[in-house]
Structure 1
């Protein structure tokens, strides 16, 4: 699929300069879901997985902002809600992490070094507000690039467990979310992004870029952008989850 020049420009701006601490539900305006909120038939089926992407220590940079606090609360509520299901669906967390103090995955001329080269081991840990329940079967995968499955067993796990649908939350929209949406869509997964549960870290990209990603770029695949309320309602109509 070929992107227009305007879309490529938006992607470049969003990926090379981290955005202001703005969430995507009514900040700066309410993101329009691709599925109308009046549609009460949404279901994820039985073979779905919840992907919680890069919810790491970098979240602290937005924790004291209004939008950041709303993002943390919405995402934590979603994660806790998923854990409360019987049985809970497969939840996979990704985190940016590198091998040893030399960060061998990052070469001196790697463009990604400019993005994540300064991430410390402490910052690569899952942020405390987001609970990982290993007893429930949660999986935490390390990665060294934007895409959630880079250099790890994400695709193997999804294939082995017969997953056909994924629901994404994470930090950041222009990074791990956008890259993972494109890759998993190309691998024939049905992809949903929860608008409330994605945000950027502080920077200076215009708010219109965020809107363009969630209302313009992702829906053109097409992948779906929904609210956390829609996601919860869909889970209630889905399953029980099989994996």
Structure 2
């Protein structure tokens, strides 16, 4: 089996208990998101796929981690990342961090609209820009990639598009925070670049201040019209297990 038995057992137990309390089911906080692919339809991600884990940094995740929805989001996303790492060979996984080159923030300047959103995050050395400890990054063993970015789009100011192209990626599976920011911006751009895009509904969330309808409107209304596939964490894990051995790096 491609998933290590211990990871699969833990994930199965987690999901069994979750059903009793509407989890996993950030997609039921407060609205259950209907996936674009019927729950009984089997599908896979092929072999040329990449996993994008976007903006899972302290300064953004910290705004939701004390809420029930935030805790479910963190747990779902961490379980997904661990399941991806358990594959052998591991697929390409890319994490993004928002930070600026120095305290002068040359990437945004004093009048940049994005500065109003992210100007307080700081440089690579500051705690708010570091990846949240709930999420495991394996750069040495699995070849995970961590990219700086300086706008909403995951490829702003970095080598994301070059990496995806060089690695012959045709499908991306996205998790991250927030739905109306990095997730929506990146889904549009990668769709325009002809990638097959999947968004895991359980693995995205809005940051405060939050209108509870924003997340549902994007996941059920906007993204499916592109069309981008919006799936549940259960569907994502099942598709991961059905996918062929990932082609990445030396296996390319």
Which secondary structure state, in structure 2, belongs to the residue aligned with residue 61 of structure 1?
coil
Where relative contact order (Cα < 8 A, 6+ residues apart) is larger, the structure is 1
2:227 maps to 1:222:
yes
Which residue number corresponds to residue 241 of structure 2?
236
- Unaligned runs of 5+ residues in structure 2 are 1-24
Which residue number corresponds to residue 112 of structure 1?
114
Which secondary structure state, in structure 2, belongs to the residue aligned with residue 192 of structure 1?
strand
C-alpha RMSD of the superposition: 1.0
Which residue number corresponds to residue 73 of structure 1?
75
TM-score by length of 1: 0.88
Q: Which runs of 4+ in 1 moved over 2 A?
A: none
- Matches of residues 97-176 of structure 1 in structure 2 within 5 Å? 97-120=99-122, 121-134=126-139, 135-176=141-182
- Unaligned runs of 5+ residues in structure 1 are 1-22
Tell me the matched-pair count.
219
Output the CA distance in 2 between the equivalents of 1:71 and 1:232.
15
Provide, for residues 38-57 of structure 1, a one-character-per-residue CA deviation record: whole Å limited to 9, x for no partner.
11x21100000000000000
- 1:24: how far off? 4.6
Find 1:210's aligned residue among 215, 218, 222. Answer: 215
**Greater Cα shift, 118-127 or 211-220:** 118-127
Which secondary structure state, in structure 1, belongs to the residue aligned with residue 129 of structure 2?
coil
- 1:202: how far off? 1.6
Which residue number corresponds to residue 83 of structure 1?
85
- Does the 8 Å contact 1:51/1:93 carry over to 2? yes
- 1:149: how far off? 0.4
